[in-house]
Amino acid sequence: MSARLALLALLAMAGCGQAERLSRIGRAPDMSPVTNPTEDPRWRPVTMPMPQPREAPPMANSLWRPGSSTFLRDQRAAQVGDLITILVDIQDAAQLQNRTQRSRNGTETMGVPNLLGLETQTRRLLPRGADPANLVNTNSTGTTDGNGAVRRNEQITLRLAATVTQSLPNGNMVVAGRQEVRVNNELRELSLQGIVRTQDIGSDNTVRHDRLAEARIAYGGRGSLSDIQQPRLGQQLLDILSPF
């Protein structure tokens, strides 16, 4: 019964996905509305280990403000709601190759040609034609040859404006941003989230993606080309359920 219910649920989910695709035949995918990231049901405040708070020492007769990079006003993002530009430049390449070979041969032979004269009595107990000198003879052979290779090359260069969604007690800030670009009938989506230090923000209010802690960067798309690149639902179901 549980397997039947799971199959029905899977078919219902597949039907919903197909209905969404059928509803946009002949037109481009709809863009998502601009929303507050903190209103997403999946959004959760980030909690990180924090040092003990310390008060800035008083600086009498000083024009310098603690935490400021200029004498006038710091133009960098510093509080919730400020914008910051994230420079995404991913150039990742990896090549792995592994091969394992194993071979094993085994031969066992056992017999009782002479045993205090009792070997003549064993003929009565053994089937006709049995030879006490060659009672057991086994032979086994096993061979394993595994070969695997991975070659990956990725390059993404983008600029994304993100919003400061949270300010942590130690001064670090949680940033999140989304970008959607529609070209013809293909919608490209870029989403980013992470934690940035104020010291890593440049004077032009930009920060590199490799300066983000707990970075979550996703780049994908929706549309006709993306649909063609996905395997059919029946093939995905067989890949999950088939034990061979």
Q: What is the pTM of this model?
A: 0.58
Extents of the domains making up the chain: 70-103+156-244, 104-149
| Range 229-233 contact pairs with CB under 8 angstroms and sequence separation of 24 or more | 233/14, 233/17, 233/18
CA distance 184 to 43: 31
pLDDT band at 40 (very low <50, low <70, confident <90, very high): confident
CA distance 120 to 145: 48
* The token pair that represents 132 in the structure block: 């006490």
Give the pLDDT confidence of 195-211 residue by residue, as tens digits: 999 999 998 999 999 99
CA distance 117 to 125: 15
* The token pair that represents 140 in the structure block: 């086994």
- Residue showing tokens 């969604």: 165
- Cα dist from 116 to 38, 122, 132, 220, whole Å: 90, 12, 13, 82
Tell whether the model's pLDDT for residue 67 goes beyond 70.
Answer: no
CA distance 196 to 208: 10
Q: Which residues pair with 40 in a beta bridge?
A: none
CA distance 49 to 168: 10
E-strand ranges in 111-131 read: none
Give the pLDDT confidence of 133-155 residue by residue, as tens digits: 677 778 888 888 888 887 878 78
Q: Which residues pair with 100 in a beta bridge?
A: 146
CA distance 24 to 27: 5
Are 192 and 182 within 8 A, CB to CB?
no
pLDDT band at 164 (very low <50, low <70, confident <90, very high): very high
How many residues comprise the chain?
244
